[in-house]
């Protein structure tokens, strides 16, 4: 965590192939909110901060993909 960030846990997943993923709301001192997606694969960690418009588009595409593939 960086000073001035307020983190709120939203969701966590255990995915296939021992991958762990979590989603947090990050509020910065300026009042800006971003969704923080963290993916852990063994020792490798990938962190993405996503704005609201991109998160909405990503969510839409994930739902469409899941519908197409039996979800």
Residue in the structure block whose two tokens are 């000073």: 3
How would residue 3 be classed by pLDDT, with cut points 50, 70 and 90?
confident
The number of residues in the chain equals 71
Q: Where are the domains of the chain?
A: 6-68
Alpha carbon distance 24, 14 (integer Å): 15
Q: What is the pLDDT of residues 27-39, one digit of tens each?
A: 999 999 999 999 9
Mean pLDDT confidence for 31-57: 97
Please state, in angstroms and as integers, the Cα–Cα distance from residue 6 to each residue in 3, 38, 68, following that order.
9, 16, 36
Q: pLDDT at position 23, please?
A: 98
Q: How many CB atoms lie within 10 A of CB 34?
A: 18
**Computed over its alpha carbons, how large is the radius of gyration of the chain?**
14
Per-residue pLDDT at 2 exceeds 80: no
What pLDDT is attached to residue 17? 95
pLDDT at 1: 61
Q: 47 - beta bridge partners?
A: 38
């Amino acid at each position: 965590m960086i000073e001035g960030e307020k983190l709120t846990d939203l969701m966590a997943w255990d995915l296939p192939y021992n991958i762990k993923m979590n989603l947090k709301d990050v509020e910065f001192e300026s009042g800006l909110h971003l969704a923080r997606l963290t993916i852990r694969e063994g020792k490798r960690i990938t962190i993405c901060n996503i704005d609201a418009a991109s998160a909405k588009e990503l969510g839409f595409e994930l739902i469409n993909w899941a519908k197409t593939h039996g979800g």
